[in-house]
A and B are shown apart, each in its own frame.
Chain A
């Protein structure tokens, strides 16, 4: 086992899947010669050649639109959007076609493609480079949305995404790209899509989160638990669509209290959906209102204010305390 950061782990998945399956192609802006702006596609062009590692012209909608055609034609395209904020240019193709062709053709056509892109804050870049808008994708029936939280699960989830028969939006928390390393087994491993993981077991409160928010949430949970002698359970969603409501509902049914942490703007965010599921299926088990820690309904601020706006461990800890204190 090698210790890899998330960039290296995703790169490993791409190498191994392209090696395993000759129909897997990688396309996007600067993914070949330049190896991607975050170097996620390093080495692919040299290994697999320009027919399968395609430096495309600069047009996000066309990258996704042609990926759809490639998928219809028997390939498994893995398309890269350079940044979250640019991915919106491809939404008409994702929403209008990638998500719908299975239904439109009554299962006769499928679009096995992956759209991967770095998302969320943390790289001190320009406008449109630090956005967390998961629900733009998760709201669309027929799209799967996957968000890893570390090198090992990033690799294992990407393997599943590439092998999946349907379009998967794979959002890579860019703040985690080089944040830490983890043991990642050489042998390919896959994690099922649409399944959350309990990453810390507890009995007093359930903290639900995903992606880059997981680590500060864990830090907050550990601090609070240390201070109060509580045991907080932490659920890492890993997939936002389809959402594993069962794992969340089961956990909260045991703990009776919940906090949801999201980086994205507050209104209509994933937390709202999770709270609605708890309302439907665990209301009588709740001992406190479900709290959410989120971004605000403002245009994503430039990085000068990023630290102030993105939820941090202290905000999460306060929400945990408040929810634990509620009587």
Chain B
């Protein structure tokens, strides 16, 4: 008997703005003038904040962190497509998204200076803290989505971020499988920044795209130009609408590039060429969005200079607030083991505080 075709699949790619800022009008998402400017401002804040943080790290004023320069569109634009009823489940390279969700920049700096308090801010709402273990958060996103569905919160879905490296983890595949079986309202956004520290995506997987990993789980998967804020907004908006309408999960592969080091402890010259990095600078998400705003008549040179000055001042103000805070309670970790106190743990707290006092107090012991 001859073989028959059971199914065939295709993988689509979405780009709205090309790297020179040229717009495909038929795909342009419906954004107001104010929203477009706000989106650009948010990406600029992420860029300036990221660059400032690298300087602070080099000066020893914060610890190591994973810079996100070059990847601003991939997390900021999705945050603009979300509402506060949606859950934002990040990894550790979503500064733009977190700032857009209302996290003050000083919180990012506290976090990266070794203070858990950085994860708490007034508009926390449905934003989860930084998740370091690669890919593990995708499962939390699916559980959250299941909870939203069971609780009948039809206006809520979940957006989970992770990188290309995560697609090799079992958790990622388990998450896609569970999400698909449960038809859970979740959007998986893979920031394919081409490098998992020193491993290029071509050695991470033999698949031609990461988007096609959705096919095995029978969910929509799309490759998006991740440096194109309009495309990222559009793809996320469509996936969220489908999820909330009961259409289940979506996998978005955001093709982007890590222009900086993996973390500030990493030296990328060991594994990639400067020419490659320069090529990706040409595809800078901010550059093309600025060209787009200029072409739309929304932001001229003078306007841009003023905006840049304003954002830089905002970053400096955040750094000032970051450095002013000193009230990190040394025994806070004992407050957050369990919701109910236990005498054995309280005994250990007393020991800790006694030892600390003998060592010269908390200031003497800042890590």
B133 contacts A144, CB within 8 Å? no
* Interface members, chain A 77-125 (any B CB < 8 Å): 77, 92-93, 96-97, 101-110
Kindly state the separation between the CA atoms of A193 and B140 in the bound complex, as whole angstroms. Answer: 26
- Say how far B170's CB is from chain A's closest CB, in angstroms: 7
- Say how far B352's CB is from chain A's closest CB, in angstroms: 13
Kindly state the separation between the CA atoms of A68 and B143 in the bound complex, as whole angstroms. Answer: 7
B338 contacts A242, CB within 8 Å? yes
Cβ-based interface call for B148 (8 A) = yes
* Interface members, chain A 53-85 (any B CB < 8 Å): 56-57, 59, 61-62, 64-75, 77
B146 contacts A106, CB within 8 Å? no
Cβ-based interface call for A246 (8 A) = yes
Cβ-based interface call for A164 (8 A) = yes
- Say how far B104's CB is from chain A's closest CB, in angstroms: 15
Cβ-based interface call for A43 (8 A) = no
A62 contacts B171, CB within 8 Å? yes
Kindly state the separation between the CA atoms of A51 and B146 in the bound complex, as whole angstroms. Answer: 9
Per-position 1/0 for B118-149, Cβ under 8 A of A:
01100010001111010010111111111110
A106 contacts B337, CB within 8 Å? no
How many positions in chain A have a CB within 8 Å of any CB in the partner chain?
49
Q: Which of B142, B158, B178 has the most CB of A within 10 A?
A: B178
Kindly state the separation between the CA atoms of A165 and B345 in the bound complex, as whole angstroms. Answer: 17
Cβ-based interface call for A141 (8 A) = yes
By a beta-carbon cutoff of 8 Å, the part of chain A in contact with chain B is 23, 25, 51-52, 56-57, 59, 61-62, 64-75, 77, 92-93, 96-97, 101-110, 141-142, 144, 164-166, 193-194, 242-246
Q: Which of A23, A56, A73, A97 has the most CB of B within 10 A?
A: A73
Cβ-based interface call for B335 (8 A) = yes
B339 contacts A104, CB within 8 Å? no
Task: Name the interface size band of chain B.
Answer: 35 or more
A72 contacts B178, CB within 8 Å? no
- Say how far B355's CB is from chain A's closest CB, in angstroms: 15
Q: Which residue of B lies closest to A75 (CB)?
A: B147
A97 contacts B150, CB within 8 Å? no
Cβ-based interface call for B5 (8 A) = no
Cβ-based interface call for B366 (8 A) = no
A61 contacts B143, CB within 8 Å? no
Kindly state the separation between the CA atoms of A106 and B116 in the bound complex, as whole angstroms. Answer: 7
B143 contacts A107, CB within 8 Å? no
Pick from B177, B340, B344: contact of A62, CB under 8 Å:
B177
Cβ-based interface call for B353 (8 A) = no
Cβ-based interface call for B336 (8 A) = yes
Q: Which residue of A lies closest to B119 (CB)?
A: A105
- Say how far B337's CB is from chain A's closest CB, in angstroms: 5
Given contacts A62-B171, A62-B177, A102-B337, contact A72 B140 (CB under 8 A): yes
Pick from B145, B147, B178: contact of A74, CB under 8 Å:
B147
A69 contacts B147, CB within 8 Å? yes
Pick from B119, B131, B174: contact of A108, CB under 8 Å:
B119
Cβ-based interface call for B325 (8 A) = no
- Say how far B167's CB is from chain A's closest CB, in angstroms: 16
Q: Which residue of B lies closest to A281 (CB)?
A: B347
Write out the residue numbers on chain A whose beta carbons fall within 8 Å of the beta carbon of B150: 25, 51-52, 75
B333 contacts A69, CB within 8 Å? no
Per-position 1/0 for B257-293, Cβ under 8 A of A:
0000000000000000000000000000000000000
A59 contacts B178, CB within 8 Å? yes
Write out the residue numbers on chain B whose beta carbons fall within 8 Å of the beta carbon of A142: 337-338
**Further contacts, 13 of them, CB under 8 A, given A59-B177, A69-B147, A102-B336:** A23-B151, A52-B150, A59-B174, A65-B143, A66-B139, A68-B139, A68-B140, A77-B143, A96-B136, A104-B119, A141-B337, A165-B340, A245-B344
